[in-house]
Amino acid sequence: MLNKTKKMMVGVLSVSLVTLTACGDDRPAEPTGYDCDDWEWDKDTGTYYCDDDDSTYARSYYHGGSMYKSKNELKNSSNYQTYYSNYKSGIGSGTKGGFGG
C-alpha cells in the first residue's frame, strides 16, 4: 500500500512541477531537505542537479521527489520521461506554443 501511495505522490509532484512551469514560473523551486548546498538548473533536462562536491548527492539530479545518481539514470526514469516530453514540447520550456507559451 505504501509503495502505491509513494508512486501516486511522485506522479502528483511531477504534474505539479509541469503546472508550476506552465503558469509562467521559469522553473520550480530548488529542492530542500537534501544534503546539498549548491543546486544548479540544468536547462537540457529541466531539472536541478547538486553541484556541491562535499555533498553525498554531488552531481546527482533531482526530479519528482527522487534523486538520480546520473543524467542517464534520470533519463531512464519513466516519471521523468513523461515530464521531459511535456518540458520539451513547450509546457514550461519558455517557447511559444503549448500551455506555457
pTM: 0.63
CB 24 within 8 A of CB 46: no
Give the tens place of pLDDT for each residue, 25-56: 568 899 999 999 999 999 999 999 999 999 99
Residue 94 gets which letter from DSSP?
A: S
Cα separation values, 55 from 40, 51, 62, 72, 74, Å: 14, 8, 14, 20, 18
Give the tens place of pLDDT for each residue, 63-97: 999 999 999 999 999 999 999 988 877 655 454 43
* Residue-range domain boundaries for the chain: 2-88
**Phi and psi based region of residue 51 (left: phi greater than 0; alpha: psi -120 to 50; beta: remaining):** alpha
Distance CA 86, CA 81 (A): 9
